[in-house]
Amino acid sequence: MLEGWQSPDVTVYFMAILGLIVVWQYYQMQIMSGRILAIDIFDRSGIRMYIYVTPSDDHICEVCAASNGCFFLPSQVAKKKFSPLSGKCQRSTPCIGALVGLYGAWLEARGVLEHLRTNAKKGGIQLSTEEVRALVSGQWERCISADTDRLGIHMIEALSYEKINPEVSVEGYRYVVNEVKEVRHLLFLVPAYLRLMQLLLLAKEEAEALETIERFEARFPQTKRGPHFPSDEQRAIMKTKKSQLLKDLPLPLSA
């Protein structure tokens, strides 16, 4: 009955498994060296690089300002103790900054990504504020990553234009607070609300500044906490500004 049965060649299966292990190990080495990105295959969000951006503000500490325009690979950001800063923020209330993920399919971004991959072993690359502005001024809306990168581009643009064109920054922050829906963008909300409020006050737009604070309070109730929620210090800033605005603004006329 068993005369025609032959045992399978275990060697073939063993060699196939061994081959898969070798390929996987080689792939891991390529990721660690920065030649390819783990996110290219596994991360459906389509993020291929990150940039850390701070506002054009004289109150940003030296440590945070020194990291403005630094780019990182997703494999670097995924590390447990990753920080975009080279040291500790020097302010008691941490400086505003945002780590923005991009797919970057337009010409200027592809050049930055290639440069970043080439210099991965050195820890990354850094662009000047002018170069960051040039990057987001490229033809990103015409490329395949437009929808993926749109909100991040607005955030970078808003942070980078505060000094030279506050109106662009105001529009960028407005877009962010109105359009954030994905989890990966939630960390933009607090910086966007805080900077929008500050710029509106500088522009003497007190009524909209007050409305922004009230929207901030509604979005981040005092009874709730979370990774993307404001700190107690940031809540205190908004509360103080609100008290000042309520004191200074004329009361609405009764009907």
For residue range 80-103, what is the model confidence (pLDDT) as tens digits? 889 999 999 999 888 999 999 999
Cβ distance 202 to 173 under 8 Å? no
Residue 124: per-residue pLDDT: 84
Residue 43: per-residue pLDDT: 42
In the chain, what percentage of residues exceed pLDDT 70? 82
For the entire predicted model, the pTM comes to 0.79
Residue ranges in the chain whose pLDDT is less than 50? 2, 7, 31-44, 251-255
Question: Between helices 146-160 and 129-136, what is the axis angle to 10°?
Answer: 140
Q: Which of 69, 50, 79, 71 is nearest to 119 (CA)?
A: 71
Residue 224: per-residue pLDDT: 85
Token look-up 């990150």 returns: 50
Q: Order of strands across the sheet with 98-102? A: 98-102, 49-53, 70-72, 125-126
Residue 45: per-residue pLDDT: 54
Cβ distance 104 to 145 under 8 Å? yes
Residue 191: per-residue pLDDT: 97
Q: 40-70, pLDDT tens digit by residue?
A: 333 445 899 999 999 988 789 999 999 999 9
Residue 3: per-residue pLDDT: 55
Residue 44: per-residue pLDDT: 43
| Cα 186 from Cα 200, distance rounded (Å) | 22
Residue 176: per-residue pLDDT: 98
